[in-house]
Homo-oligomer: A and B are copies of this chain.
Amino acid sequence: MKRVEKEELVGVKEIARRANVSIATVDRVLHNRTGVSEKTREKINSIIRDLDYQPNLLARRLASRKAIRFAILIPRISEETNFWEAPLNGIEQAEAEIKAYGIRIDKYFFDQNDKHTFVQQTQQMLKTDLDGVLLAPSFIEESITFTRECQKRHIPYIFIDSDIPNQESLSYIGPDLYQSGYLAGHLINYLFDTGQVLLVNISREIDQDHHLLRKEEGFRSYFQHISSPKQILKIDIRQTDYPSIKGHLSAMLAKHADIKAIFVTNSRVSSVAQYLQEAGTTDKLLVGFDYLQENIDYLKNGTIDFLICQKPREQGYRGLMALYHTMVQHAPVEKQYFMPIDIITKENQAFYRN
């Protein structure tokens, strides 16, 4: 039994020897620093290419006196929803894995109901020295203002949860919203033969809520693509407190006895479940979004039938790791990474990794 030595790889020393320069000069070329004559730069570069030189990242990080700094900007966990706890956990896991390599993460949070806090936080971030940003661009205009500034400063950034196309982001990691809605249509179409489907949007900002609108679009398009005798009804609930939701639902269900299934376009499906349970209505199929504790409780007791989820934890984890892999490992990243669309039921929920 003999110990295997590490492969003998070429390093700066060998390059320097071949180019007849010092390793400091090689280092300058490697990092595109100024102060090297064009001639020696070219010579060194060609040697680097010939040797297929791969820098030793271990040594690089060890020798470097400065930490690499990433910042993340996501919504604060609120009383309304703890959805953002999952991405935050994912971010913290990634942080734990890479902090041994000299990486520091600064975390910024904003209030989803207050654009101003978003702007404030981006301004705070720009006061620090950053090597990369991971953000949920909930407010489109404000996000663009921020990413423009990042571009100016050559700070790379990655979007999670929702995308703003054509903003030169390194990557987008999150759901394909249209397809999520389309899948919901497919699922519901399977579950019964004839009757009505009630689509429910619950949000204070339905008309600006990219998430809801795209999902509804996808959902409707499914039924256009098939020949189905199902009819789609819809309610928009802009007052998001429970009494208001209850009022809307009871009126709707009283009027339309033939509603067989209810599709809620976001995580507020738990409020609908609460109503159905209170009303003793057990014969309706209920489909909604997100693996939140309250939703899971209703899934377990059979009030909710299916939840569609998109691994928010993994979005956070992957987002930060993508930053790390590009900035530190110089590995390529996918421009768009759509999360799988997961269907959660009573039976598989215990095995779901959010």
Contact = CB atoms under 8 A, between A and B. Distances in A.
A182 interface: yes
Interface stretch (A135-143, A243-251, A333-341): A333-341
A1 interface: yes
Interface in A199-218: none
Contact of A340 (B67, B186, B352): B352
Contact of A183 (B305, B342, B347, B353): B347
Nearest to A347: B183
In the complex this chain forms, how many copies of it are found?
2
Interface in A150-193: 176, 179, 182-183, 186-187, 190-191
A100 interface: yes
Contacts of A104: 4
A186 B347 CA distance: 7
Contacts of A179: 347-348, 350-351
Contacts of A257: none
A353 to B, nearest CB: 5
Given A4-B104, A129-B3, A340-B353, A182 B347 contact: yes
B191 A345 contact: no
Nearest to A311: B340
A160 B16 CA distance: 46
B353 A348 contact: no
B57 A100 contact: yes
A329 interface: yes
B61 A5 contact: no
Contacts of A96: 331
Contacts of A39: none
A183 B69 CA distance: 44
B340 A4 contact: no
10 contacts: A1-B128, A4-B104, A5-B67, A6-B67, A56-B62, A58-B101, A179-B347, A183-B345, A183-B348, A340-B353
Interface of A: 1-7, 56-59, 61-62, 65-67, 69, 96-97, 100-102, 104, 127-129, 176, 179, 182-183, 186-187, 190-191, 222, 305, 325, 329, 331, 338-343, 345-348, 350-353
